[in-house]
Amino acid sequence: MTLLILVVVAALAFDFINGFHDTANAIATVVSTRVLTPRVAILMASVLNLVGAIVASEVAKTISKDLVDPHVATTTLTLSAIIGGIVWNLLTWFYGIPSSSSHALIGGLVGAAVAHAGLHGVLWGGLLNKVVLPLLISPLVGFGVGYVLMTLISLFFANSRPRTVGSLFRRLQIASAAAMSFAHGNNDAQKSMGIITLALISAGYLGKDAGIPLWVKLSCAVVMALGTSVGGWRIIKTMGHKIIRLEPVNGFAAETAGAATILVAGHFGAPVSTTHVIASSIFGVGASKRLSAVKWEVALNMVIAWVLTIPASALVGAGIYTLLSLFGL
């Protein structure tokens, strides 16, 4: 029972960290374009993260049932997975690298499962279809939608006065940032819900086919909203200033493309990375102007972090599991 409580506390801590780590992805553009102040943007994101986290559970079901065999899952395994995700999250946050909290958690889960039960402990089909393929596809979709949307906006408003366009999209960007915040909560908060549910199943408190308990949904949603309220200026700086120089119209296109991609993925239970999607959407928006408008060295650093996230957090998860096992946990 004590170990299960530790799992719940660690999962909520992960959600809190996710809130201040990844929420910056949702509001970076609206802050960097000065449409909203950081305080107002963070308040808006906090509320919409909470709402988004409560209204769906498909991603949580993927995490709890489709990645690791529930028959081999233990509370030690789930605790190790969370610690692996937290360590990688804090490391990348410290250096201002917008890596994926989602895939850090999944990497920790996979590493701990392999350390506990060998390769047979992981449901590789679920990992491939629900994580790896969306990991590869969703940034490409975000890039493509951002590119096309920005191109269409440029064509439609080609003869409009810049002041008119700027005024219109300053208002529209508030709506697009709100949509992105909702999408973040809708997808990201569910990862911790899934981990807690997996721990409850492995401890015998829930049946294998049980849904996500209401108290789990509410606690994860509230904690992520609290983490959101802390904010994350380091990531906002990278996302909003270091990729391209953003105007409100660019922010609107990137946020709309990102939110649409994330919400569609969440509908199919795919735990995609809000970081990957919004960053690639910003790249697409920038590339629609001209390829040189994008700072590709920043893109390269992000891609390296993305590629390393799952294996690095998997190694940490496996190491934590081995360490805990040595202490008889």
264-310 residue pLDDT tens? 999 888 888 887 888 889 889 988 877 766 667 767 777 777 778 88
pLDDT at 109: 93
Question: What is the pLDDT of the chain when averaged over all its residues?
Answer: 83
Residue 98's pLDDT band, with cuts at 50, 70 and 90, is low
The residue among 183 and 329 whose pLDDT is bigger is 183
pLDDT at 47: 86
Q: What one-character-per-residue DSSP string does 191-256 give?
A: HHHHHHHHHHHHTTSS-TT----HHHHHHHHHHHHHHHHH--HHHHHIIIIISS---HHHHHHHHH
Residue 245's pLDDT band, with cuts at 50, 70 and 90, is low
- For the chain, what is the radius of gyration of the CA atoms? 19
113-137 residue pLDDT tens? 999 999 989 999 999 998 888 888 9
Look at residue 231 and tell me whether its pLDDT is greater than 60.
no
Q: What pTM did the predictor assign? A: 0.83
The residue among 217 and 301 whose pLDDT is bigger is 217
End-to-end CA separation in angstroms for the chain:
12
pLDDT at 226: 81
Residue 233's pLDDT band, with cuts at 50, 70 and 90, is low
